[in-house]
Amino acid sequence: MIFSLVGYYSLILGLIIGISLFFLSFKNFNNSNILDKKLLSFTFLQLFFVVISFFCLISSFIVSDFSNETVFNNSHTTKPLFYKISGTWGNHEGSLLLWLLVLTLFIFLFLIRSKNQPVKYKILTLVFQQIIIVGFFLFLIQTSNPFNYIFPTPLEGLGLNPILQDPALAIHPPILYLGYVGSSIIFSSVLAATSLKIISTNWALHIKKWILISWIFLTLGILLGSIWAYYELGWGGFWFWDPVENVSLMPWLALTTLLHCILVLEKKAILTSWVIILSIATFTLSMSGTFLVRSGILNSVHTFANDPERGLFILIFLFILILLSILIFFFFHKEDNKKSYSFFWLSKETSILINNWFMMYFLSVVLIGTVYPIFLDVISSQKISVGPPFYHKLIIPFLIPFLIMMAIGPKLKWIKSQIIDKLYLISFLIISILLSFLILKNFSQNILINTILISSALYLFFITLRDFFIKKYNNISQNIAHFGFSLLILSILFNNLFSSEIITNLKVGESFENSKTKIVFESINQKKEKNYNAIIANFSVQNYLGEKDKLSPELRIYNQPVIATSEADIKTTLISDKFIVINLVQNQDYFNVRYQVKSFMVWIWLSVVLISFGGIISFLKKRS
Amino acid sequence: MNNKKLPFLLILIFGFTFIIFYKSLEDSSIYTPDTNLEKEIPVFNAKNFFSKENINSSNIFKLDKIYLLNIWSSWCVPCRQEHPLLMNLNLHNKVNIIGMNYKDDLKNANNFLKELGNPYNEIFLDLDGTIAIEWGAYGVPESFLIHNNKIIKKYIGPLNDKLIDEIKLLVK
């Protein structure tokens, strides 16, 4: 009871501070004293209240206070403590409170970390961020208050959705939010800088760290979600082009492009329009993602209780922000025509620009695939679903020039470079083509597009690998990230080419055998846990080399709410994952067994970790 | 492109997007697959809520009649909201409402019915929640529209006026 009360009034206080910050900022636009003392302490106070509110919600979950509607709907006394806590953000209200926490945390950190920036710029950034913060305060208090009472107090809660009761998913939302919501600070800052016309190399240097930090967390957050989907949803894939995944990929693509643009801006003071538009796009894409999954237009695990009022609020708020950014962009930003810069065809900035256009193309493909069904349904009431083939057909061919450009681009100099002494670039290309041809020939998978695709990925792989051994080459962060990307594409390609699957129905004691694999269903056990009962099936799997593996997938029946889930058992090695999952068949005494050998799975995860590691190094690097 | 026209064009495009999204909010189930369509209902034995006698599902659900199976519980808050709608629907005599009392305390359940009325033609007990699993239910409240021993439609969560109208329409 007391937690809900404190939490709710902290929110109200936070909102009041947000509104008073508007007045303070407009009154003292030029007074730097005010900024350092009053504004900073007010921002801190706002953060403090949101933290209090957040901890109150966590405490309500820990003590299972079912007089709180959010706790009642998403928790249960038999849940382990870990999932009681993670249940805090496993629902609409709690996760929005987390949004607010990240928003207030970032503006506070921004103010204390930007000591040397112009006062006006800092105040204006604060104002724009407060527009977002106040909007979300109103949204939270008005439509999704996490501290609603229920009377009489129920004795038991309804429980957390079992597929959300998972370690990877417990930390996925906070990590993802740091990137997803963290991009708000880039948005606010770019609007402030555009209005004051201070977009310059200095500004680029200052905002780069913020872009990097969002980018790192967004990358890791997507990775965690993907790992979770791999072993929890039991389909054995890592990316399904589900609309919900797409809405996290779109800000990532925009943010990655922005990161490359900012590198150019930092050196050359060009591509300013790109930077402004991409900064705006990143955050608006994050917001649209929230709108799409929270309003119930797209159904997924991220769709909590549907309420059209919520959807409408975010929708209107989103379009106010878009309108505001369009107005600021066209009103204040004038591209300097006198200093118009001509790109030499063979230079680093040209290659970045080319790949930016590729990224924009990928972004539009994903965007169209995600929202086109919605448009079509509204306009003509036709229902279509856009699946992986659409994305694969449209994206894969363009990955080839994209990868080659990624390999060559960093080798070029700024402004203008020569082709001479770039002979090794060509020799590496020939080696890659030969090698990929040999690989595919060996596995009798001779398809032209695969050969070209693998060659271009191998090309990037070799070029970046070579650079690790050249000492004078100092852009190590870029090299690691690009190396990670080549590894990612290679692992995905090999994963697609060499994975195999067996689907069969088995009773206890039966076995399945084909030329390569023998699966024996040995026995069945039962297990009782606090929050679920499980049936454990024991399999032994033998491959054609005679190696034997014991695999024990589970069927779990969770008690609150009662849902049956299949837990896959996965044996991971460097070369491949052995993945087995069982399903109950209605009114039958056999189980449906799915056994998959997924090649190079662990390398997909590792390469994404490498990519973000590149970002981390760049973030930590002191400016020389 | 003329630089002055561009902002208006952009605003026009975004305005159009706004209208589309706004429209789609009204029909917010675009991606919902039609689950359990035309699936046979499970066969089970259960105890009657009042008499405590064992009954078989085949005695409850008859062919050529339309049933609405409603899973409810006295501790379930949304059930309380939904209950008046069921009472109302009961007046509409083409549909027989069957109650599945889910993991409940019998005394509380009786009080619940005394307080809010009993819209159910028949109620059976699911004390340990196993029958709900057989039906493929996710939780309480949940309702299944049944015709000829087949599930026509499944409603997850509490019913509302709109859904009740839909049920009335389907029954016709």
Return the pLDDT at B170: 76
Return the pLDDT at A161: 73
- Residue that wins the pLDDT comparison between A305 and A290: A290
Q: At A624, is the pLDDT very low, low, confident or very high (cuts 50, 70, 90)?
A: very low
Return the pLDDT at A491: 92
Contact B30 A373 (CB under 8 A): yes
User: Is the confidence at residue A213, as pLDDT, over 50?
Assistant: yes
What stretches of A63-118 show up as alpha helix (H) in DSSP? 69-74, 81-86, 92-113
B16-45 as b/e: b if 16+ CB within 10 A: ebbebbbebbeebebbeeeebeebebeebe
- What is the H or E stretch that residue A485 is in? helix A476-498
Distance, CA of B140 to CA of A302 (rounded, Å): 20
Return the pLDDT at A446: 61
Residues A179 and A326 in one domain: yes
| Cβ–Cβ contact B26 with A under 8 A | yes
Return the pLDDT at B46: 84
Distance, CA of A567 to CA of A165 (rounded, Å): 12
Return the pLDDT at A324: 92
Average pLDDT over residues A199-217: 91
Residues A151 and A12 in one domain: yes
Residue in chain B nearest A304 by alpha carbon: B157
**Distance, in angstroms, between B121 CA and closest chain A CA?**
26
Counting every residue written for chain A, the total comes to 624
Number of other residues whose CB lies within 10 A of the CB of residue A318: 22
> Which chain A residues are closer than 8 Å to B29 by Cβ?
296, 299
Q: At B38, is the pLDDT very low, low, confident or very high (cuts 50, 70, 90)?
A: low
The answer to the question of residue B11 being in a domain is: no
User: Is the confidence at residue A532, as pLDDT, over 70?
Assistant: yes
Number of other residues whose CB lies within 10 A of the CB of residue A515: 6
Return the pLDDT at A307: 66
Cβ(A502)–Cβ(A519) below 8 Å: yes
Cβ(A155)–Cβ(A560) below 8 Å: no
Range of the domain at B96: 38-171
**Tally of domains within chain B:** 1
Q: At A300, is the pLDDT very low, low, confident or very high (cuts 50, 70, 90)?
A: low
- What is the H or E stretch that residue A592 is in? strand A591-599
| Cβ–Cβ contact B133 with A under 8 A | yes
Q: At B114, is the pLDDT very low, low, confident or very high (cuts 50, 70, 90)?
A: confident
Distance, CA of A437 to CA of A446 (rounded, Å): 8
**A587 Rama sector, left if φ>0, alpha if ψ -120 to 50, beta otherwise:** left
- Sequence-separated (6 or more) residues with CB below 8 Å from residue A386: A241, A369, A370, A372, A373
User: Is the confidence at residue A133, as pLDDT, over 50?
Assistant: yes
For residue A214, which of A265, A175, A156, A243 has the smallest C-alpha distance? Answer: A175
The answer to the question of residue B149 being in a domain is: yes
Residues A403 and A451 in one domain: yes
The answer to the question of residue A358 being in a domain is: yes
The three-state secondary structure class of B27 is coil
User: Is the confidence at residue A411, as pLDDT, over 90?
Assistant: no
| Pairs of CB atoms within 8 A across A/B | 83
Please give the order of strands across the beta sheet that includes A500-506.
Answer: A500-506, A591-599, A576-584, A569-572
The answer to the question of residue A127 being in a domain is: yes
**Percent of chain A clearing pLDDT 90 (strictly above):** 31
> Which pair of structure tokens corresponds to residue B61?
């659900």
What stretches of B92-159 show up as alpha helix (H) in DSSP? 106-116, 130-134
What is the radius of gyration, based on Cα positions, of chain A? 26
Residue in chain B nearest A324 by alpha carbon: B11
The answer to the question of residue B25 being in a domain is: no
Domain of B144, CATH number, reads: 3.40.30.10
Residues A517 and A569 in one domain: yes
Return the pLDDT at A603: 92
> Which chain B residues are closer than 8 Å to A564 by Cβ?
133
Residue in chain B nearest A153 by alpha carbon: B75
The answer to the question of residue B159 being in a domain is: yes
- Residue that wins the pLDDT comparison between A525 and A30: A525
Supply the angle between the helices A448-468 and A423-442 in degrees, to the nearest 10.
130
- The tens digit of pLDDT for each residue in A339-365 reads 556 666 677 888 888 999 999 999 999
Supply the angle between the helices A92-113 and A167-180 in degrees, to the nearest 10.
50
Contact B30 A326 (CB under 8 A): no
- The tens digit of pLDDT for each residue in A267-279 reads 877 788 899 999 9
> Which pair of structure tokens corresponds to residue A331?
């009103």
Residues A19 and A120 in one domain: yes
Residues A243 and A305 in one domain: yes
User: Is the confidence at residue B34, as pLDDT, over 70?
Assistant: no
Residues A67 and A115 in one domain: yes
Return the pLDDT at A49: 96
Number of other residues whose CB lies within 10 A of the CB of residue A585: 11
The residue from A317, A334, A351 where one domain ends is: A334
**Tally of domains within chain A:** 4
The three-state secondary structure class of B4 is coil
Contact B21 A315 (CB under 8 A): yes
For residue A91, which of A144, A166, A12 has the smallest C-alpha distance? Answer: A144
Distance, CA of A214 to CA of A255 (rounded, Å): 8
- Residue that wins the pLDDT comparison between B24 and A105: A105
Average pLDDT over residues A373-402: 84
> Which pair of structure tokens corresponds to residue A327?
């107005």
The pair phi, psi for residue A530, each rounded to 5°, is -60, -40
Residue type, A82: F
Give the nearest partner residue to A383 out of B22, B30, B138, using CB atoms.
B30
Average pLDDT over residues A479-496: 91
Interface of B with A in 72-131 (CB under 8 A): 75-77, 129
Distance, CA of A356 to CA of A371 (rounded, Å): 22
Return the pLDDT at B60: 81
Q: At A235, is the pLDDT very low, low, confident or very high (cuts 50, 70, 90)?
A: low
The answer to the question of residue B83 being in a domain is: yes
Q: Among A308-322, A606-620, B31-45, name the one with the lowest average pLDDT.
A: B31-45
Q: Among A288-302, A521-535, A601-615, name the one with the lowest average pLDDT.
A: A288-302
Q: At B32, is the pLDDT very low, low, confident or very high (cuts 50, 70, 90)?
A: very low
Q: Among A463-472, A519-528, A548-557, B115-124, name the one with the lowest average pLDDT.
A: A463-472
Q: Among A73-87, A530-544, B147-161, name the one with the lowest average pLDDT.
A: B147-161
Q: Among A47-56, A116-125, B140-149, name the one with the lowest average pLDDT.
A: B140-149
Q: At B87, is the pLDDT very low, low, confident or very high (cuts 50, 70, 90)?
A: confident
The answer to the question of residue A593 being in a domain is: yes
User: Is the confidence at residue A5, as pLDDT, over 80?
Assistant: yes
Would you give the end-to-end CA distance of chain B in angstroms?
57
Range of the domain at A154: 1-165
Return the pLDDT at A486: 93
| Cβ–Cβ contact B136 with A under 8 A | no
Distance, CA of A487 to CA of A609 (rounded, Å): 11
Cβ(A478)–Cβ(A259) below 8 Å: no
Counting every residue written for chain B, the total comes to 172
Number of other residues whose CB lies within 10 A of the CB of residue A387: 12
**Percent of chain A clearing pLDDT 70 (strictly above):** 90
User: Is the confidence at residue A136, as pLDDT, over 80?
Assistant: yes
- Residue that wins the pLDDT comparison between B95 and A317: A317
Q: At B33, is the pLDDT very low, low, confident or very high (cuts 50, 70, 90)?
A: very low
- The tens digit of pLDDT for each residue in A142-192 reads 888 999 888 778 878 877 777 777 787 788 889 999 998 999 999 999 999
| Alpha carbon A531 to chain centroid, angstroms | 29
Return the pLDDT at A222: 93
The residue from A292, A312, A334 where one domain ends is: A334
The answer to the question of residue B23 being in a domain is: no
**DSSP β-ladder status, B39-40 and B45-48:** unpaired
Average pLDDT value over all residues in chain A = 85
Residues A159 and A184 in one domain: no
> Which chain B residues are closer than 8 Å to A159 by Cβ?
139
The answer to the question of residue A546 being in a domain is: yes
The three-state secondary structure class of A586 is coil
Average pLDDT value over all residues in chain B = 78
**Distance, in angstroms, between B10 CA and closest chain A CA?**
8
Residues A513 and A463 in one domain: no
Return the pLDDT at A421: 59
User: Is the confidence at residue B82, as pLDDT, over 60?
Assistant: yes
Q: Which of A18-32, A129-143, A419-433 is predicted most confidently?
A: A129-143
Residues A361 and A326 in one domain: no
Return the pLDDT at A36: 65
User: Is the confidence at residue A111, as pLDDT, over 60?
Assistant: yes
The answer to the question of residue B17 being in a domain is: no
The answer to the question of residue B26 being in a domain is: no
Distance, CA of A163 to CA of B116 (rounded, Å): 35
Residues A326 and A181 in one domain: yes
Return the pLDDT at A55: 95
Residues A160 and A173 in one domain: no
Q: At B31, is the pLDDT very low, low, confident or very high (cuts 50, 70, 90)?
A: very low
Q: Among A176-190, A287-301, A523-537, name the one with the lowest average pLDDT.
A: A287-301
Dihedral of CA B130/B132/B136/B141: which sign?
Answer: negative
Return the pLDDT at B1: 45
Return the pLDDT at A378: 83
**A402 Rama sector, left if φ>0, alpha if ψ -120 to 50, beta otherwise:** alpha
User: Is the confidence at residue A573, as pLDDT, over 80?
Assistant: yes
Residue of B5, B11, B21 to mutate, interface with A, max A Cβ within 10 Å: B21
